[in-house]
Chain A
Amino acid sequence: MNVEDSPLFSHYSSVASLFDEYLDPSAEVRDHYIMLSEHFANLTTEDLNRLNEEAKIVFFNEGVTFAVYSDKNVGTEKIFPFDLMPRIISRKEWDVIEKGALQRTRAINLFLKDIYNERNILKDGVVPHELVFSSKNLTRHMDGIVPPGEVYTHISGIDLIRHSDGDYYVLEDNVRCPSGASYVLANRNTLKKVLPKLFDQCQVQLVNDYPEQLLTMLQTVAPENVDDPNCVVLTPGIYNSAYFEHSFLAQHMGVDLVEGRDLFVENDFVYMKTIHGPKKVDVIYRRIDDDFLDPMVFRPDSILGTPGLINAYKAGNVTLVNAPGTGVADDKAIYTYMPEIIRYYLNEEPILKNVTTYRCEKDDDFEYVLANIDKLVIKPVDESGGYGIQIGNTLSPAEIEEVKKMISEDRRKYIAQPIMSLSVHPTFIEETGNLEPRHIDLRIFTLLGRDFEHVVPGGLTRVALRRGNLVVNSSQGGGSKDSWVLA
């Protein structure tokens, strides 16, 4: 079928320099999109407008929101923009992505165990020790700690993009508190309500067992000798940008959602205050950053955490998910070494590619970055959520000078990568009433437990809704799509 036949696609044309997920280079619909394409071909702009409104109502009614910190307005909670046209990953490609994501997660986990214990990879000089020990997210409090099941990074989010060469690249690893899994479920749920017939025609791998998988994983990493572990979700509270997700996951796992003040520590055990008296807590899926977990150990001004929590953890009486100090592995300067890390621990070739990365700390890289800022993306090594990213070709000469100054003042803090051309996907644009190409990426969620591994089939496709915008983070005005892996 030719796309010109459909009114919705009448304005759709791929851009030669970009990889189009939907059309192949000869402007034919790719095989795995044909079924979907036929379904959409029967829709008019009016239909899509109506469905789009319906989707918004579903999101509104279910409270699927997020908050943006940079907004000056009060009441910053927003509906997460959702695009009606799902993204499809072919089964063949997914098999590779899944294997690659698991490989990466296993390697990162082994790296963390090594860094906090033997440090062999540093002694062998595979990763420079200076780099690891200067990472802001390394914590001495994890030194010598081996959590139950030897798992540090229970939940990981790997951000993948497809470059113009058609290959997938890992843009970054997120192994602290990656968020987004609840949106995968919400997107699927919404699309099923709005376009139910779509699912009659296409066999899509299910994602709605994620809360179950998550709970199973949490139970596998309970402290030794706990038969029926009490698992909770620890949230910083309603003002956190991902509060929806915290409550959603707790509710769907059927576990309690707690704040730091609902917990207390006694004799190195953690208890939850309930109307029936204290109840021991065994596994905490914490959505609070390391710094705020325990005012006795980390930031003393934190009122979000629970005093004594870290010692209870060190004593092995409670499991924290993810472990503190995992951020050292998603430091973007250490990312550079991920291929070596995979080879070192697994003796395998990396399945997923890394993006060429320049570490400003290195003199030759630094010189290169200063001379080529207009062709590069500059990122702080220790931030997440798209904060602090500078895209070279969007900067004015004055801004470039500012960025140069910023890098020179703290070279360890910045890395640079070539501006990757994220692939594009048809996306419904309200203003024009058409499907237009927009940049997308993919966040893959993996779960790691004691003898337990799971990858959410599909993950979260994020889409940059503004034309030409490359930053897809929801905190930076991006939206998302349902992501399909065909069964």
Chain B
Amino acid sequence: MSEYHVSYHAVNSYEHQVTGAFFRFIIVPADNEFQKLIKMKLRSNVPVTWWISERVKDGKELYVRANKPFTEFILDLETRIIINQVNPFNRPILPREIQWKTLETTEWKVENAYFLQAGHPKDRSYIPPEWMDKFPAPNTQQGMLDHLITLREFLFSKIKFCPESTDVHTKAIETYQLKAGVCQDFAHLYSAIARRQGIPTRYVCGYLCQGKNYKGAGQLHAWVECHVPGSGWIGIDPSNNLMADNHHIKIAHGVDYGDCAPIKGVILNGGDHTSEHTVFVHQAQSAQQ
């Protein structure tokens, strides 16, 4: 078990006075079998009304309404989370023939449909079907987890992690052409490929404990979870070429960034604006089991 202290700090500055604002933040760590949210504190420079709304499956949304006009909105969220040791290699594993065969069944496709869809060319996690021969193909001689690692290593070797090379609208197609991107681009591209290979994959947003020179630390992070028959959803961090472990604090998942955008708002007036956030994750204590 590890206990983490996460600080999220956001500054939104507006050209003109904002006379009404309603925000949705997806920044509160999830409560699930692997992690427990034990404390939460919210502060802002403007008086607000706020509440937490549960997502139907895994995750929380923080809604905030400003009760006074402002030109700058600062929000601080402090949370404490306990994470159980996660070892993806300790999960039950089905024989590989069964793993790959399961993907072909109607029941599996129906159960996982939302995370299997190849999507539309305008989607962030879409790649054209004719590109599939560029990537390591599923090999039934290999277990599915091994295949997912091969894919992860392949992407890590092809795509360079470059801060500010892309933005939140960048699509998987562009990432592949640029051969560069940040964590959400790796996650989108990885999802696009795995889904086309029939492996249900969801986009995950969360925090990453600093240190160890992880990419995506100090910011919100993104990785993926792949559904392996018999093993469950396995967290894979393509931009760090790692399995997600107890340094990964999950906030929520969705089909792509659009489902997990950290901040969305309806703003009255305000004009142009800039939005910045910083994240600090600190490991409070560690009790190895």
Contact = CB atoms under 8 A, between A and B. Distances in A.
A311 B106 CA distance: 31
Given A265-B63, A311-B53, A133 B117 contact: yes
Interface in B87-121: 106-107, 109-111, 113-114, 117
Interface residues of A, number: 23
Contacts of A119: 110-111, 113
Given A311-B61, A315-B53, A129 B110 contact: yes
B110 A266 contact: no
B264 A300 contact: yes
A211 interface: no
Interface string A129-144: 1000100000010011
Chain A interface, >50% SS class: loop
A296 B56 contact: no
B56 A308 contact: no
A201 interface: no
Contacts of A295: 264, 266
A123 B53 contact: no
B54 interface: yes
Contacts of A268: 51, 53
Interface in B34-68: 49, 51, 53-54, 56-57, 61, 63, 65
B22 A143 contact: no
A129 B113 contact: yes
Nearest to A119: B110
B264 A123 contact: no
A133 B113 contact: yes
Contacts of A307: 22, 24, 266
Interface in A106-130: 119, 122-123, 125, 129
Contact of B114 (A122, A140, A145, A264): A140
A373 to B, nearest CB: 27
The size class of the interface chain B forms with chain A is 20 to 34
Contacts of B117: 133
A266 B24 contact: no
Contact of A315 (B54, B106, B264): B54
B24 to A, nearest CB: 5
A295 B106 CA distance: 34
B286 to A, nearest CB: 36
Contacts of B65: 264, 266
A56 interface: no
Interface string A425-461: 0000000000000000000000000000000000000
Nearest to B116: A133
B106 A145 contact: no
B255 interface: yes
A103 to B, nearest CB: 26
A152 B51 CA distance: 27
Contact of B107 (A123, A140, A264, A315): A123
Contact of A123 (B57, B63, B110): B110
B111 A308 contact: no
A266 B107 CA distance: 39
A393 to B, nearest CB: 34
A315 B56 CA distance: 8
A308 B110 contact: no
Given A129-B106, A129-B110, A133-B117, A311 B255 contact: no
The list of the 7 closest CB pairs from A to B, nearest first, reads A311-B53, A122-B110, A267-B51, A133-B113, A307-B22, A296-B24, A307-B266
18 contacts: A122-B110, A123-B110, A123-B111, A133-B114, A143-B114, A144-B56, A144-B57, A265-B63, A266-B49, A268-B51, A268-B53, A295-B264, A307-B22, A308-B63, A311-B53, A311-B61, A314-B54, A314-B56
Given A143-B56, A267-B51, A268-B51, 5 more contacts: A140-B255, A143-B114, A144-B56, A296-B264, A308-B53
